[in-house]
Chain A
Amino acid sequence: MGKVKRSPWLLHYDGSSCNGCDIEVLATLTPVYDAERLGVENTGDPMQADILLITGGINEQNAPVVKQLYDQMPRPKVVVAVGICACTGGIFKDCYNIRGGVDTTIPVDIYVPGCAARPQSIIDGIIKARDLFQKRSDEHDEYEKTHHGGAGEEKING
């Protein structure tokens, strides 16, 4: 119902990345690329975030952290994997402690490839993510309308 896509707030989590992608994520927020013109706010708080942006692969140590961050985010939410490490494990894939991409731990919606992913493609990923965010929000509203009883908050999935 409401136009939620005009206000996608990001939560950026740095998995086991080389920091290359993280710098590019920050670059998208600097004056040159200025993601804030799309309403993006880089929040550090999972309870206020709509889009979880993960760079770097998942290792045994950060897997529970990523899971928890994902669970703490209120629905509807979207997950974006930025960089080839986050998509598949990338160059670190064969390391003994690496599980692989983010989708080994939580469901990923948008994959942004590149090593490092360029700010242009990250912004493209964010735009795809906010459209998906809008779609999920509409589905959420639809669900609320068709399933009366007020307990909708606990029942909705995805």
Chain B
Amino acid sequence: MKFDTARLIWIIGYLVLAPFIGGLLEGFDRKISARMQRRVGPPILQPFYDVQKLFNKQTIAVRKTQFSFLIAYMVLMIFTGAMFFGGVDLLMCFFVLSTAATFLIFAASVTNSPYSAIGAQREMIQMMTYEPAVLMTAVGFYLIRGTFDVDRIARAGSSAIVVLPGFFFAFVFILTIKMRKSPFDEAGSHHPHQELVKGITTEMGAKNLAVYTITEWYENVFLLGVVGLFIVNRNPLSYIGAIVVILLVYFLEILIDNASARVRWQTMLKMTWGVTLLTAGVNLMMLMLIYR
């Protein structure tokens, strides 16, 4: 497909703004979490301070290749987001997303640290858990719009969520896994609980951890973009609606994160597949009956 200037602006906007938006969202996340726990909490800009500090520290790496893997993870993740905001094939975005996640697993497993290895294994289980819902999302959009092109999906006459409520629910459900929130933060433990040390990030220090963190910000913005895709349509006002829904979803994730303890991976797998089947699956069947 050919690029128009509007799409180019979207791509550049994503490349430049995503780290800031992602970092700010994380800052609000930590502040809101703190308030939910009746604490004062760190400043909103704390995630940026953290990353700045990480770049100022000495890098100790057990394996030098870890950095290359992390860079590959970052580049592919940025590529995923750029493709999405550039309006190309949604299915392709999801494939590149999975490839990026694979490089993260490589980065974690090159070090031979047992904690890192457990984190990497759990990351693979997580991928297996959320992948059906992610693919279903792409299928849902295709069924109602007859295309995988994000550009054309976004320019439809009505919001996709009207006919895809089940898919939307399934996608928001797996967002908890993708954003590494409780109860599904299997691969990397949040700071208060440490039986995994830091799981997948155990062996990442200084600039390696900084690269990882920035990549997570890019990823979160992309994922929230997919949430927004359920809302946007031809009407420019729908973009405001999309932002409102994105913020609500993000707040919901923070609430779930603070209100739940981590579950075992078996429970995560059963719950997620069950929910995917019940919501997206039933929604899919209904669509197939209607759009026949």
Tell me if A36 and B42 are in contact (CB < 8 A). Answer: yes
Give CA–CA (A146, B202) in the complex, Å: 33
Known: A43-B191, A47-B203. A4 touches B39 (CB 8 A): no
| A50: interface (CB < 8 Å) | yes
Residues of chain A at interface, number, CB under 8 A:
30
Select A31's contact among B37, B43, B46, B201, beta carbons within 8 Å.
Answer: B37
Interfacial chain A residues near B49, Cβ < 8 Å: 3, 6-7, 39
Tell me if B58 and A2 are in contact (CB < 8 A). Answer: no
Interface size class on chain B is 20 to 34
| A137: interface (CB < 8 Å) | yes
Interfacial chain B residues near A34, Cβ < 8 Å: 34, 39-41
Tell me if B50 and A7 are in contact (CB < 8 A). Answer: yes
Tell me if A72 and B60 are in contact (CB < 8 A). Answer: yes
| B236: interface (CB < 8 Å) | no
Q: Bits for B180-201, please: 1 = Cβ < 8 Å to A, else 0.
A: 0000000000011010011001
| B10: interface (CB < 8 Å) | no
Known: A45-B202, A74-B205. A141 touches B56 (CB 8 A): yes
| A65: interface (CB < 8 Å) | no
| A41: interface (CB < 8 Å) | yes
Interfacial chain A residues near B209, Cβ < 8 Å: 48
Q: Which residue of A lies closest to B61 (CB)?
A: A47
Give CA–CA (A4, B52) in the complex, Å: 7
Give CA–CA (A153, B58) in the complex, Å: 6
Q: Which residue of A lies closest to B34 (CB)?
A: A36
Interfacial chain B residues near A43, Cβ < 8 Å: 191, 194, 198
Given A7-B49, A48-B201, A75-B57, 10 additional A-B pairs, CB 8 A: A2-B52, A3-B52, A6-B43, A37-B34, A37-B40, A37-B43, A39-B42, A39-B49, A50-B53, A74-B57
Q: What are 5 contact pairs spanning A and B, CB under 8 A?
A: A3-B49, A45-B197, A48-B204, A50-B53, A72-B60
